[in-house]
Structure 1
Amino acid sequence: MTITILGIDALDPDLIDPDTHENLSMNAHHPIDTIVSVAGEPSTHELWPTIITGLTPSEHGLKLDDGVTWGNPIFRIGSNIADYLLPQKIQSRIGAWLLTNTSEDAFREQATYYIENGLSTIFDGREAEAIGIPNYVVNPDDEDREHALRRSMGDLFERDSDAKGGHTSADPIEFYEQCMEMGMVRIARTRRALRSRNYELIFGYTSALDLIGHISYDNPDLQHDAYNEMDNFVGELIGDLYPEDDLLLVSDHGLQDGLHTDEAVVASTDCTLIDNIDSVTDVRAAVEDALDQNDHAPTGRERLVQPNNGGDSVRKQLEDLGYM
């Protein structure tokens, strides 16, 4: 048995339509509380560490100082000096320029941070795989297509403090295509980990919906289309589950009209898995309870055909064609 968590940044409970998005809503879904940063809205930088530790940002220490991750490792020395020399507004503008015009990706705190600071995570003591989680970088040299695209967006995704969503795009349609490719890559990696049967816990993450949401405030059809496509992608992941497996979707916040909202969401194939999740701080405990109550030991690649992938119909087709 495997629990797979898919973190979908900015998945908004108000934008999930159970009649249209049966895979995003699954057997049960509901809004959960999130945490607002000093910038006045929930922050990706703070919240994924919260989700994997169960701790608030003030407890795990990965806090947003000015809204543009000025505390990122590449900026840390400079930011310590700047705190004494530069007003916060100027720090924010410099940080925005750096993140827009350098190849450094944001949210790249290494997993060793947690060990060094005496923090435990949802992965400790488990046969687990972490895929792209912000501020939990297992191997800093490991880069996939989502990382590569995030670092090379250029004018497709520029920070603009005067824009409604805080960002502008020179070509929203091209940007949309890149973001959906990012989502496909991360979900494909999550599916491969699940299919290997080598893990009791898999946690994949994609920022595709968040990025699209930030530039679609004047083109809401793009965000609508993104939800429809993401629903299809999640459906493919659901198709890889064995009957005894569970899938949990979780977001860090919502996003409407280009801006983060103060509600996140959870959804699951198992209604009981999310019964006690009322906040982003509850996700870790709920998953660990489920892991402790059931046998989630990885089985390895012992079955070549899944029991829920239409094997009977395939066999009948082969029989009708005379191959069996």
Structure 2
Amino acid sequence: MSETLCVLGLDAADYRLATRWQCSNLLLETSAELESISYSLDVPATLEVWPSIATGTPPAEHGVVLDSVGWDNTSGLNVLVRMAQLLPDAASERLAAAKERLDEGGFPYTDDPTVFDDGSVRNWPGVTPAHDWERESEWFEQATEGRMATTEFMRRYFGSTGSCLGWLAGQALSDVPIAGVHAHILDHAGHMYARRPAKLRTVYERIDALVGWLRSRVDRLVIVSDHGMQTTATDDPEPGVHSEHALVATTEPGPLPTDVLSVRPWLEDRIEADGEGTSDPTASVDAPREHLEDLGYL
């Protein structure tokens, strides 16, 4: 039995839709609607909320924010940051560091401590380089512009999402205290199919089945989203726009966190402090070095 607390960040997983469509794996043993936050926009923004979940602090403190006037489509990454002088001094310094990373290519991310510092994390916006999300965003742009067939877009996306969930299952075998991964598929699918609920439901049901696979392979699982999605299925006024209806679900007993800023302390209360498997900082290899060099490994 693995004590690793596995955290699946499932972007735009809407509690109302998961409940309406009876996605039992997304809802796990206990689930609830999670209160999200808005900062640069009138609705929650992916790049701002995920580092807030990991750090337990609002965007003005962790320093990863959007520019409220719009997106820069010439960057290829569609990411801007708010002017540094609008933030407190400490946040401005962190924002400057994030801006340097943006100039080098890739989404900005915070230097602040996160819940994953003693564990492992992959593709978490605002916390790690989000190469999977960057690649998926390129696919989404091609699909929305008619340069990629929707069937090809979804085929690639399910493969990418499966890779993320497989990574999380693998981390549970490595006995880290906590592991987290972000998967973006329900966000892009929600934008794409906001007025076609039958198609969106199919995506939810397939992701539910994929999470079922993950659920059967890890002992402790938490699912959290950053926001929901307005759709015609839920009679929302602006289909395809982010909603406040985020989701939290878990196999863990006890009360659930109520908002995205309380997720980090809630997770930390449940992390096993054993640390077994992380005490030996030096790797050792039994094969002769000469043989490894002959093979081209070194």
Cα distance in 2 between the residues matched to 1:19 and 1:191: 25
Select the residue among 157, 179, 192 that pairs with 2:144. 157
Aligned to 1:109: 108
What is the deviation of 1:170? 6.4
Asked if the contact 1:253/1:263 (under 8 Å) is kept, the reply is: yes
* Aligned partner letter, 1:270: E
- Is structure 2 residue 231 aligned with structure 1 residue 251? no
Kept after mapping to 2: 8 A contact 1:45/1:69:
no
Q: Name the residue aligned to 1:121.
A: 114
Correspondent of 1:130 among 121, 132, 137? 121
Separation of aligned partners in 2, 1:239 and 1:201: 18
1:22-60 CA-partner distances (Å, limit 9, x unpaired): 211111000011012332111001000100011111222
**Deviations 1:196-249 (CA, angstroms, capped at 9, x unpaired):** 33x1110011000000100102322221011111111111111112xxx42100
Secondary structure of 1:29's match? Answer: strand
Q: Which residue number in structure 1 is paired with residue 257 of structure 2?
A: 277
* Structure 1: segments with no counterpart, 5+ residues: 84-103, 159-167, 301-324
One-letter identity of the residue aligned with 1:283: V
Which residue of 1 is the match for residue 94 of structure 2?
none
Counterpart selection for 2:174 from 189, 196, 221: 196
C-alpha RMSD of matched pairs (Å)? 3.2
Q: TM-score, normalised by structure 1?
A: 0.67
Partner of 2:245: 263
The reply on whether 1:14 has 2:16 as its aligned counterpart is yes
Residue 289, structure 1, aligned to residue 269, structure 2:
yes
Cα offset, 1:69, TM superposition = 5.6
Measured at CA, do residues 155 and 76 of structure 1 come closer, stay the same or move farther in structure 2, by a change above 3 Å? closer
The 3 A distance-change label for structure 1 pair 74 and 263 is: closer
- Preserved CA contact (<8 Å) 2:71 2:79: no
Partner-residue secondary structure (3-state), 1:184: helix
Assess if the C-alpha contact under 8 Å between 2:25 and 2:211 holds in 1: yes
**Aligned residue in 2 for 1:165:** none
Q: CA deviation at 1:250?
A: 0.2
Q: Name the residue aligned to 2:150.
A: 172
TM-score normalised to structure 2 length: 0.73
Describe the superposition over 1:271-300 as per-residue Cα deviations: whole angstroms up to 9, x where unpaired.
Answer: 32xx14110000000010112xx4543459
1:298/1:227 CA distance change after superposition, 3 Å: farther
The Cα offsets for residues 58-97 of structure 1, whole Å up to 9 and x where unpaired, read as 2222222226565x998999986xx9xxxxxxxxxxxxxx
- Find out whether 1:240 has 2:234 as its counterpart: no
Hey, what's the Cα distance between the residues in 2 that align with 1:67 and 1:172?
30
Cα distance in structure 2, aligned partners of 1:46 and 1:208: 18
Distance 1:181 1:35, change over 3 A: same
Extract unaligned runs of 5+ from structure 2: 87-104, 232-239, 279-298
- Structure 1 consecutive aligned stretches of length 4 or more whose deviation exceeds 4 Å: 67-70, 72-80
User: Is the Cα–Cα contact under 8 Å of residues 7 and 224 in structure 2 kept in the other structure?
Assistant: yes
Paired residues for 1:219-238 under 5 Å: 219-238=196-215
Q: 1:67 to 1:287 in 2, by over 3 A?
A: farther
Aligned to 1:212: 189
Are the structure 2 counterparts of residues 143 and 47 from structure 1 closer, same or farther at C-alpha, using a change threshold of 3 Å? closer
Separation in structure 1 between the aligned mates of residue 275 and residue 80 of structure 2, nearest angstrom: 43
Distance 2:43 2:11 in 1: 14
Matched with 1:310 is: none
- Give the structure 1 partner of residue 99 of structure 2: none
Identity value in percent: 26
SS in 1 for 2:270: helix
